[in-house]
Amino acid sequence: MGTSDTVTVTPTSTTTYIVTGTLTGCDNTAGITITVSSIQVSITASSNPVCAGSSAVLTACGASNYLWNNGLGTTNSITVSPTSTSTYTVTGTTSGCAGIDSITINVVAVPIVDIGNDTLLCPHETLLLDAANPGATYLWSNGRNTQTITVSDSGAYWVSVTNGNCSMSDTILISKSPQINLGKDASLCVQSEITLDAAYSTMAYQWSTGETTQTITINTPGVYWLNATFENCLLSDTINISGGFNSLYFPNAFTPDGDQLNDGFKCYSEGITQYDLKIFSRWGSLVFETQDVNASWDGKINGIKAQMGVYAWVVDYGTLCSGDGNLRKFGYVTLIR
């Protein structure tokens, strides 16, 4: 190893060194054993990666004393809250021997989830809910796993969005506007009045009759509609009321002289649904027939002026209430020239 009294050694394992010295012809031998200690320092993390805004506990082992980089501490465990991917290093020492280890903590962004404010849906309206964060994993309260869903029913809807190990959720409450319903079409044939009720007292109403109340009472047939406002929803419904008043009147004389006054014989009617009028001469011959309630007899037979006199008529008719063809009237009309 050399002839000097000092020598430097770097053993890689425990080694015994022997030296022999000579003085005035005498030899003397001595030995020393150098023990080599191995320091293996390692770091474990309670979680890796971590969600942004969360913490991880780093624990070092394999030494008696520890020193973390950047002055993070001298204990074997520290808590870190990285805002971005970061590397942490610890130096461990035992009996003057040191070991070093490092660990990189990855940071994953937490999904930002906002599916909107609580919403009122009008009748027949739908709403698209979007959880955003493309590429994430989704779980909706209805079991769907897509980024978006379309809803039309009332209820509480939530979604959980997962990015790596990080999850975030949001909830929205969907309510439905009431829907007005005036009921099935009705008839005045069995009652003289019908009350139509919009059912809800908290709305603003506009009826086809011009009224603005919750209910109206009607006694004439026709089509009735209602517009109502509930918050931001416009609601409407229509009902057809049939039947009701009907009349059938025939004059007892007419003057087909071309003066535009009472020139034809016809009925004056309301609420008639079926009509068949026949007019006969005094000898029982049919001189005129029509199924048009607005048609009139001009006092001619086959294009020739009929004689003055009395003519008999009979009409078979139906009304909205009676149905077709089950009513009959008859009478007489005088033709005057």
Q: What is the pLDDT of residue 58?
A: 97
C-alpha to C-alpha distance for 287 and 278, rounded to whole angstroms: 8
Two structure tokens written together for 235? 């609601």
Which CATH number covers residue 139? 2.60.40
| 149 within domain boundaries | yes
Do 331 and 251 share a structural domain? yes
| CATH code (residue 254) | 2.60.40.1930
Whose CA is closest to 60, among 94, 96, 98, 102? 102
CB 324 within 8 A of CB 246: no
Do 256 and 328 have their domain in common? yes
Helix (H, G, I), strand (E, B) or coil at 212: coil
Residue with tokens 């937490």: 110
Q: Look at residue 87 in the predicted model and tell me its pLDDT.
A: 96
Q: How far apart are CA 71 and CA 62, in angstroms?
A: 20
In this structure, the dihedral spanned by the alpha carbons of residues 42, 47, 51 and 56, taken in order and rounded to 10 degrees, is: -60
Same domain for 159 and 234, yes or no, is: no
Residue carrying structure tokens 């903590």: 105
At 3 the pLDDT is 57
Q: What is the largest CA-CA distance in the chain?
A: 184
Tokens of 284: 């029982």
265 found inside a domain: yes
- The tens digit of pLDDT for each residue in 244-257 reads 778 899 999 999 99
pLDDT of residue 12: 67
Q: Is residue 52 part of a domain?
A: yes
Residue 78 maps to a domain: yes
What is the tally of structural domains in the chain? Answer: 4
Residues 164 and 145 in one domain: yes
Instruction: Retrieve residue 299's tokens.
Output: 């006092």
Which domain covers residue 49, as residue numbers? 44-108
With a CB cutoff of 8 Å and minimum separation 6, the contacts of 219 are 188, 192, 193, 194, 244
Q: Are 253 and 320 members of one domain? A: yes
- Which residues of the chain fall short of a pLDDT of 70? 1-4, 12, 35-37, 323-325
The verdict on residue 72 lying in a domain is yes
Q: Are residues 217 and 263 in the same domain?
A: no
Distance separating alpha carbons of residues 266 and 298, to the nearest angstrom = 9
pTM: 0.58
pLDDT of residue 325: 59
Quick check: is 116 in a domain?
A: no
**Residue 299 and residue 331 in one domain:** yes
Relative to beta strand 86-94, strand 65-68 is antiparallel
Q: Are 53 and 82 part of one and the same domain?
A: yes
Q: Are residues 253 and 315 in the same domain?
A: yes
Q: What is the pLDDT of residue 300?
A: 96
What token pair was written down for 106?
Answer: 């990855």
Name the E strands within 186-221. 186-187, 194-197, 204-207, 215-218
- Residue 235: per-residue pLDDT: 95
Q: Are 259 and 319 contained in the same domain?
A: yes
User: Residue 15 domain-assigned?
Assistant: no
Residues 257 and 317 in one domain: yes
Q: 303 lies in a domain? A: yes
Q: Give the pLDDT of residue 202.
A: 85
DSSP state of 35: P
Please check whether residue 20 is in contact with residue 27, taking contact to mean a CB–CB distance below 8 angstroms: yes
